[in-house]
């Protein structure tokens, strides 16, 4: 994970966080395998749907969840690393249009903005 602190106007601080693609891919694969054991799909017995079918149907949803979870953990680690105390909730922005795109695995860049509390 790479973190870059960028100062903005006033008290606003912007953290540019880049999450390695393999971290996202490993977690997506793990969750889809787990889901394939529990999911009920028409034409298959419960828990017996082939992994490629489950991946095709749920990939976007699972990847969005994973990116959100990993980004939350990365944000918490980044504010601790940068010694920031946000005064409210961060606003997350993506520099990539769709988190569930099926393009080859690329690092997932995100930017989070927050106002730190005065010291």
Residue 54 domain flag: yes
Residue 35 domain flag: yes
Tokens for 59? 């990939």
CA distance 117 to 119: 6
Element (H, E) at 101: none
Residue pLDDT, tens place only, 62-81: 999 999 899 889 889 988 88
Residue 43 has phi, psi (to 5 degrees) of 95, -5
Residue 20, domain CATH:
3.30.70.1050
Residue 119 domain flag: no
Residue pLDDT, tens place only, 53-66: 999 999 999 999 99
pTM higher than 0.75: no
For residue 105, the enclosing domain spans: 2-114
């Amino acid at each position: 994970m790479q973190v870059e602190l960028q100062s903005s106007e006033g008290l606003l601080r912007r953290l540019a966080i880049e999450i390695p693609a393999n971290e996202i891919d490993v977690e997506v694969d793990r969750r889809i395998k787990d889901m394939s054991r529990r999911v009920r799909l028409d034409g298959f017995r419960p828990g017996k749907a082939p992994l490629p079918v489950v991946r095709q149907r749920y990939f976007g949803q699972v990847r969005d969840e994973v990116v959100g979870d990993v980004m939350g953990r990365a944000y918490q680690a980044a504010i601790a690393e940068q010694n920031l105390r946000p005064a409210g909730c961060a606003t997350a922005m993506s520099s990539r249009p769709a988190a569930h795109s099926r393009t080859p695995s690329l690092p997932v860049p995100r930017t989070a903005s927050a106002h730190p509390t005065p010291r």
